[in-house]
Amino acid sequence: MSSMLKIYADKADVGMRLDVFLKNELENFSRNMIQRMIIYEQVLVNGDAERAGRKIKSGDIITVDIPAPVVPNIKAEDIPLDVLFEDEHILVLNKPQGMVVHPAPGHYSGTLVNALLFHCGSLSGINGVLRPGIVHRLDRDTSGALVVAKNDIAHTSLSQQMAAHEALRKYHALVRNTVKDDGGIVNEPIGRHMIDRKRMTVTQRGKPATTHYMVLERYGQGNSAYTYIEALLVTGRTHQIRVHMTHIGHPLLGDPVYGKGSDIRFPGGQALHAKVLGFTHPHTGEYMEYEAALPEYFLKYI
């Protein structure tokens, strides 16, 4: 069955094209999909069908008839996992670089979810059949510590801790140029880029985002300068560390999206690793903290 969604435009949206406005609101839909929905009158503005280029006005009410998704059959696959901890409630693992966390168009096999279905059998169903057990995610090319929920109670508890900024998430990264200060805080909102929809950016239209960083080591000089940092996430926005460090002039080494022009390519993608993950166990109430070892290729670059 399809579902109806009502979106209310405000002053910040005035003058935006209808299709662009909807792309900002419906992040999982491509612009082509949204334009097709507009053509077939699945999108109404104040009760009337409109063109994709119709400019948004303050107070507009946009109704979207979202079609029911076609759910593929996600199969269990015998993929090795680097497990740091496991009991009947949760599983903590060290995700390898290059592994997609959950199935999505173009990635219905070889994902962490495929591996978890084989390894665990039973997982939390809160996020549906495509994301069973997935409480939080790491980018495909980001390695490191990640926790999975095996039941809905554990999932709810862990999600609430993430939302309340109670979970500890420390990352290690190699960034370009010399970071002069020994540490600092980037407190800038992050949202979807208005033109390149695959990118996030610092924008006042975005959601609050805060990253603390600390210098661990500095290497080289001039154009060959790099800095090894630890980043502490307060919030957990998409690409947050990558966007924030780029914003202050220090894109991650090897980042294909935000670090173009790097004279050294980090193997496989951005030099970012989720090093430490801490949280309260949803069943025992005990605080737990796990450290994921840096991959060998990361150590070589250091």
The catalytic residues are 139
The full 3-state SS of the chain, as one line of letters, equals CCEEEEEECCHHHCCCEHHHHHHHHCCCCCHHHHHHHHHCCCEEECCEECCCCCECCCCCEEEEEECCCCCCCCCCCCCCCCEEEECCCEEEEEECCCCCCCCECCECCCCHHHHHHHHCCCCCCCCCCCCCCECCCCCCCCEEEEEEECCHHHHHHHHHHHHCCCCEEEEEEEEECCCCCCEEEEECCEEECCCCCCCEEECCCCECCEEEEEEEEEECCHHHCEEEEEEEECCCCCCHHHHHHHHCCCCECCCCCCCCCCCCCCCCCCCEEEEEEEEECCCCCCEEEEECCCCHHHHHHC
Quick one: tokens of 180?
């002069």
User: What does each C-alpha distance from 85 to 61, 92, 93, 141, 162 come to in angstroms?
Assistant: 48, 5, 7, 22, 19
